[in-house]
Amino acid sequence: MSQSSEETKAALTDVRKAFRLLWAYNKRIFHIVQRINEQLGFTFYYTDNWTAPKNSGSDFCTRWAWDALPTVTTGWLMLRPNKKEDGTIVTRPGDQSNNPLTGEMLLHILLVSDSGFSDVYAKQKSEPDPLKFVAPESAESRLILSIYVNDVDRTEKLNWYDSIFKPNASKADFLDHFKKESLNNGIRRYSKSYLLEEFLDDEGLMSRISEFQDGAQKALDVSLGVS
């Protein structure tokens, strides 16, 4: 076997190792997201992928290679509707994602796996080239948590994602670790950016969740947790 063939075989071995490492990484990220969601008392609503595989009707090979790695930068959105004393959701015209009531909340968990990717992505619309990233040792992995509070009963059809979240949550804001507590149209937000490594062991995970919960409750005058 030629040296080139040996190098190719070694490279493919590295690829297989990388896929297995990414599996373990994704597994841990999913655990972190679920624990944050459970601890703060929210339920899943929507996944906001900056890059992600599209439906099967599209030619996957014509898209960015990053689309095959959707957790490089992605966000999870969770809702917390108002509940009665018996735990049932307060009814409203329409559904809870389109007609939020006063005091209802949205939680956004934004994963930035590689700031090298996100820094380049924020500055250009073409596919980010890893050769232009900062070195992996100089980049960061971050988890940015945000709570949105709705202060107005919405009787018209006003979707949480399209009408409330998207207009108030630009990608540039989060990449700059932006924090803004008062937004337009009866919406308030509290955001905090963390290094992802602070969440990777269970003790750190629960400590950071409690820290964020306390900060959000004080800043927004709300109650978070399982009700």
Residue 92 counted as domain residue:
yes
pLDDT of residue 44: 93
User: Secondary structure of the chain in the HEC alphabet?
Assistant: CCHHHHHHHHHHHHHHHHHHHHHHHHHHHHHHHHHHHHHHCCEEEEEEECCCCCCCCCCHHHCCHHHHCHHHEEEEEEEECCECCCCCECCCCCCCCCCCCCCCEEEEEEEECCHHHHHHHCCCCCCCCHHHCCCCCCCCCEEEEEEEEECCCCCCCCCHHHHHHHHHCCHHHHHCCCCCCECCCCEEEEEEEEEHHHHCCHHHHHHHHHHHHHHHHHHHCCCCCCC
Q: Which tens digit of pLDDT belongs to each residue from 56-100?
A: 667 778 888 888 888 898 899 999 999 888 889 888 877 778 889
Residue 84 counted as domain residue:
yes
Residue 225 counted as domain residue:
no
Residue 172 counted as domain residue:
yes
Residue 34 counted as domain residue:
yes
Inform me whether the pLDDT recorded for 178 exceeds 60.
no
Residue 183 counted as domain residue:
yes
Residue 227 counted as domain residue:
no
Domain count, the chain: 1
* Domain span holding position 73: 3-220
Residue 226 counted as domain residue:
no
pTM: 0.89
